[in-house]
Amino acid sequence: MKPFVSVCIPVYSQIPFLRKTLESIQAQEFTDYELVISDDSPDSSVQELLKDFDFSGKLIYSKNAIALGSPANWNRAVDLSSGALIKIMHHDDWFSSPDSLGEFVNLIGEDQKVGFAFSGVNTKRPYSDLYTHQYASPKNIDALKINPMPLMLRNCIGPPSSTIIRREYFKRYRENLKWLVDVFQYAEILDKTKFTFTSKALVYSTTDAEHQITNSCQNNPGLLIYEYLYFFDHIKTLGQINLDPYVAYLNELVLKYEIKRESEIRQYGFMGDIPSQTLKIIGLPSLGRRLKLLELKIRRKANDVLRAMV
């Protein structure tokens, strides 16, 4: 008999973090789940850790002969699973209480038209006792009901660990992405199904850890420009929406990273359509570029203030 929920953990070493994740899963009162671990580690450290746990036959463990990397290992964990609901957990995140998994199941509910649900999250730096409770605002939720494009400017949903997905609506993570890989998947799913959410933090999520891929992404202009253009190019067609704020952000990026020719963008690997306004920005002389960047930053900050006041 298939389990109702597949808790899928793509892992790469980080044993102290993973131990906490596994302890939180073992403590769950909802027990109709399987635990799927796809292991990219270069050694047997995860296998040794698993000897400390008894998941009563619920564990499916797979060691990758060659490391798949992120997010291919995320997809591999899901490929090994069979539950009706897919619950991704990153190896440095953990459930906030023994009730969390059951609350995720209740949140997505029995309505088959609801294929996606997400919770608030407590973000926490390693070895700190402080955390920040993050969750989608009512305005964020209203925007997502219309179109997923706002995810380009702000991931109001949170990390994959804060989501649960009905299998028939699951979309494979795009393996050409790293920075926007989760929000791109969210956008694809939200285009096909309804969602529910709770502001309650059902998970804790590690942030600003040295081992996290996001740290290297933030210092990689080529990757960021490629991924934001890729997101915009694919998601702009999903329904009617004012695209001006998103084009403005693209313009700000190419100015910030001093992109002066279309060929530079192509060298980063993006071969889709570039907005005409962005191409015009690229062609501006140096002084015009500096003034335009200042204008875009001021306008964006003013819009942020106005949104906060409403």
- Same domain, yes or no, for 20 and 134? yes
User: Span 59-82, mean pLDDT?
Assistant: 96
What pLDDT, in 10s, does the model give residues 105-125? Answer: 999 999 999 999 999 999 988
- Same domain, yes or no, for 173 and 120? yes
Tell me: pLDDT of 176 over 80: yes
Tell me: pLDDT of 197 over 70: yes
User: Span 163-172, mean pLDDT?
Assistant: 98
Domains of the chain: total: 2
Q: Which pLDDT value is given to residue 280?
A: 87
Task: Write the CB contacts of 306 (distance below 8 Å, at least 6 apart in sequence).
Answer: none
- Considering only CA atoms, which of 162, 230, 226 is closest in space to residue 196? 162
- Last residue within a domain, chosen from 198, 213, 228: 213
Q: Which pLDDT value is given to residue 291?
A: 65
| 3 state SS for 60-105 | EEEECCCCCCCCHHHHHHHHCCCCCEEEECCCCEEECCCCHHHHHH
Task: Write the CB contacts of 194 (distance below 8 Å, at least 6 apart in sequence).
Answer: 111, 113, 114, 115, 116
- Same domain, yes or no, for 168 and 278? no
In this prediction, residue 129 has a pLDDT band, given cuts at 50, 70 and 90, of confident
CA 100/CA 202 separation, integer angstroms: 5
Kind and range of the H or E element at 107? Answer: helix 100-108
Q: Using the CB atoms, write b or e for 54-86: b if 16+ within 10 Å.
A: ebeebebbeebeeebebbbbbbbbbebbebebb
- Same domain, yes or no, for 167 and 282? no
- What is the extent of the structural domain holding 159? 5-213
User: Span 205-209, mean pLDDT?
Assistant: 75
- Same domain, yes or no, for 45 and 160? yes
User: Span 147-174, mean pLDDT?
Assistant: 97
Q: Which pLDDT value is given to residue 211?
A: 52
- Last residue within a domain, chosen from 187, 213, 239: 213
User: Span 18-45, mean pLDDT?
Assistant: 97
User: Span 39-50, mean pLDDT?
Assistant: 96
Tell me: pLDDT of 226 over 90: yes
Q: Which pLDDT value is given to residue 126?
A: 80
User: Span 199-227, mean pLDDT?
Assistant: 80
Tell me: pLDDT of 192 over 90: yes
User: Span 223-239, mean pLDDT?
Assistant: 94
| Side chain identity, residue 117 | A
More confident residue, 84 or 294: 84
Please state the length of the chain: 310
Tell me: pLDDT of 309 over 60: no
Q: Which pLDDT value is given to residue 111?
A: 97
- Helices then strands, counting H and E runs in the chain, come out as 12, 9
Q: Which pLDDT value is given to residue 260?
A: 87
- Same domain, yes or no, for 192 and 273? no
In this prediction, residue 306 has a pLDDT band, given cuts at 50, 70 and 90, of very low
- Last residue within a domain, chosen from 144, 179, 213: 213
User: Span 75-85, mean pLDDT?
Assistant: 98
Q: How many CB atoms lie within 10 A of CB 128?
A: 10
Q: Which pLDDT value is given to residue 310?
A: 42
**Cβ burial, residue 213 (10 Å; 0-12/13-18/19+):** middle
- Same domain, yes or no, for 146 and 282? no
Tell me: pLDDT of 305 over 50: no
What pLDDT, in 10s, does the model give residues 85-105? Answer: 999 999 999 999 999 999 999
Task: Name the CA dihedral angle for 29, 33, 34, 40, rounded to a multiple of 10 degrees.
Answer: -70
- Same domain, yes or no, for 121 and 46? yes
